[in-house]
Amino acid sequence: TSSGAAVIQETCTANTNKQWLFTPVAAQGTATVAADGTGKYRTVQAAIDAVPANNGNRVVITIKPGTYREIVTIPANKPYITLQGLGSSAKDVVIVNNHSAGTYGTFNSATAFVNGHDAALTNLTVSNDFDENTSSTGQQAVALNLNADRAVLSNVRLLGDQDTFLVNASARAYMTGSYVEGTVDFIFGDGTIVINNCDIYEKRSTGGPITAARTDAGKTYGFLIYKSRISGATANTTQLGRPWGPNAQVLYRESTLSSTIKTSQPWTDMSGNSWKNARFFEYKNTGAGATANSNRPQMSDSQAANYTPQKYLAGSDGWNPIG
């Protein structure tokens, strides 16, 4: 096209709320971004910068396989942007940097900042390759800082150590068929997210808490980890989470918990906030790490009816990215 966007084919379906969902399939022609110079832009950020502010239609930025060492920001005034990797897997397109809290502060350390509403990331990796073992302070290093409402992440890999994935208060997000790894609090924040059919991996041999939610007391829904697989480097070392805020809300639902989970005490306190006062629950999980005891609150069937993926994401506009 005259704007330089790649020619793509899309499949359109309507969900029960009459919202149109777009599923990008095989891209045709020249990639929008290619580090080797064969695309219109050499960097992802250059392609984003070329999108007009306050655009009203979806813009799909296709990215040729390669490593893109840059900081990527989708600004709040550029909604409906899709970043789509063109590789055969999410490993083929890697957006990476190594900023850390020691220099930038935790929130500003991210490799990617996604702020425009209705953003989508698919078939790519976002990584922060700062090594927490090289610093005695400021170990936090975010891969993805998400502020976008109605964001969809599909077939995405998020890689980091501490604080890999930040979901902020303004975000409602749906993540599916993806992978997240880290060491401490590596899914954290005060937003709302459904993580469906994903793999979550605690890579540190000494383990650590996976989630650190800071859900506002007036917000019913925080983090739902749904039909996903939790694993880790070692057995009986990993915690399901801890409360960054006193009213943190996290539910592990119908997921497979491996032996990496500390079965006797899978929740822990944080910064004076007691896990017992937080809204932490499990429901119908399976696997070696899915035992039940007094330290593992289980949601009842009647409660679970109100904690489905659709209810987490619906908000006041009835958003349903699941179909």
Annotated active-site positions, please? 163, 185
Q: What is the rounded CA–CA span in Å between residue 323 and residue 312?
A: 14
- The answer for residues whose C-beta is within 8 angstroms of residue 231's C-beta and 6 or more apart is 199, 200, 201, 202, 258, 260
Per-residue burial over 114-138, b if 16 or more Cβ lie within 10 Å, else e, is bbbbbbbbbbbbbbbebebeeeeeb
Q: What is the rounded CA–CA span in Å between residue 30 and residue 93?
A: 16
Quick check: 180 and 202 in contact, CB under 8 A? Answer: no
Pairing of strands 20-28, 7-14: antiparallel
Quick check: 62 and 26 in contact, CB under 8 A? Answer: no
Quick check: 153 and 120 in contact, CB under 8 A? Answer: yes
Nearest to 250 by CA among 208, 282, 277, 206: 282
